[in-house]
């Protein structure tokens, strides 16, 4: 990751931070999303928000997943959800649950991998990394590029395109306005408040930096730990 030191006139982002994401071959159709600079690297602005999770608070109900797919696709599905809760009920707490959300990476390898700029970070939407299904050609390169396990970019077998968390920008089945400044369906619906939303992205080199403690004294009164 390279920080651009020559872009202050372009950078209206809160953290004045731009991330380099690859080579000059990515310049096709980059209007409003990324910038070609003199060092021939491509930069995108930091996302204006991301989801964070409390792995000790989640109860594994999966409501976030089916609500996500409902909001985006109008049907209840786990496979189509952009947040993935995986659990092994035979493991001990807290290793029994993983909550996998898109990190809205600053260097966003999935954006860099897209050959047709379907995967982008638009200025109009707070630079949330998002995939336009109409543009996606189904090459799956963005899925492969995601460094996380499980991959945070999903394959939609119905549309034969890739999809990822857009912080509820494109939610035709949710009454509320989504996206940064709006409602994130998974966060709003979570019965125990195990999902949070941040506008300051955490340290990118620490894998656990999106895992937070969302438990307070009231949680302790129900007999459960509030320690990290």
Q: For 127-179, where are the alpha helices, taking DSSP H only?
A: 141-145
* Among residues 90, 134, 203, 228, the one that binds another protein under rule CB under 8 A: 90
Q: Are 178 and 72 in contact (CB under 8 A)?
A: no
156: helix, strand or coil = strand
The DSSP call for residue 97 is E
| Footprint on residues 117-136 left by another protein (CB under 8 A) | none
Q: Is 78 in the site for another protein (CB under 8 A)?
A: yes
* Among residues 4, 100, 119, 170, the one that binds another protein under rule CB under 8 A: 100
Q: Is 159 in the site for another protein (CB under 8 A)?
A: no
Q: Is 30 in the site for another protein (CB under 8 A)?
A: no
Q: Is 163 in the site for another protein (CB under 8 A)?
A: no
Answer positive or negative: Cα dihedral of 18, 43, 148, 48.
positive
Q: Is 20 in the site for another protein (CB under 8 A)?
A: no
Q: Is 188 in the site for another protein (CB under 8 A)?
A: yes
Kindly indicate which of the ranges 30-38, 123-131, 140-148, 200-208 contains the residues binding another protein, using the contact rule CB under 8 A.
140-148
How many angstroms separate the CA atoms of 115 and 28, rounded? 8
Q: Is 154 in the site for another protein (CB under 8 A)?
A: yes
44 is written with which tokens? Answer: 């995108």
In the complex, minimum distance from the CB of residue 188 to another protein, in angstroms, rounded to a whole number: 6
φ, ψ of residue 42 in degrees (nearest 5): -105, 135
φ, ψ of residue 60 in degrees (nearest 5): 75, 25
Closest alpha carbon to 86 in 149, 162, 156, 147: 149
Using CB under 8 A, list all residues that contact another protein.
Answer: 56-63, 66-67, 69-71, 73-80, 84, 86-94, 96-97, 100, 143-144, 148-151, 154-155, 157, 173-176, 185, 188-189, 191-193, 214, 216, 218-225
């Amino acid at each position: 990751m390279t920080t651009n030191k020559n872009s202050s006139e372009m950078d209206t982002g809160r953290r004045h931070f731009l991330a380099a994401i690859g080579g000059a071959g990515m310049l096709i159709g980059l209007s409003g999303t990324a910038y070609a600079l003199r060092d021939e690297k491509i930069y995108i602005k930091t996302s204006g928000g991301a989801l964070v999770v409390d792995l000790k608070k989640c109860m594994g109900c999966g409501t976030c997943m089916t609500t996500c797919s409902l909001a985006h696709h109008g049907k209840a599905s786990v496979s189509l959800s952009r947040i993935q809760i995986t659990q092994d009920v035979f493991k001990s707490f807290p290793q029994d649950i993983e909550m996998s959300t898109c990190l809205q990476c600053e260097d966003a390898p999935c954006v860099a991998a897209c050959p047709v700029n379907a995967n982008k970070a638009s200025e109009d939407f707070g630079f949330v990394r998002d995939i336009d299904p109409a543009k996606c050609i189904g090459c799956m390169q963005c899925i492969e590029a995601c460094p996380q396990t499980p991959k945070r970019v999903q394959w939609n077998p119905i549309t034969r395109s890739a999809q990822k968390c857009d912080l509820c920008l494109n939610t035709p089945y949710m009454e509320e306005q989504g996206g940064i400044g709006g409602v994130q369906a998974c966060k709003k619906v979570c019965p125990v408040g195990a999902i949070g939303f941040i506008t300051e992205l955490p340290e990118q080199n620490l894998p656990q930096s999106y895992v937070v403690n969302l438990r307070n004294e009231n949680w302790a009164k129900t007999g459960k730990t509030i320690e990290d």
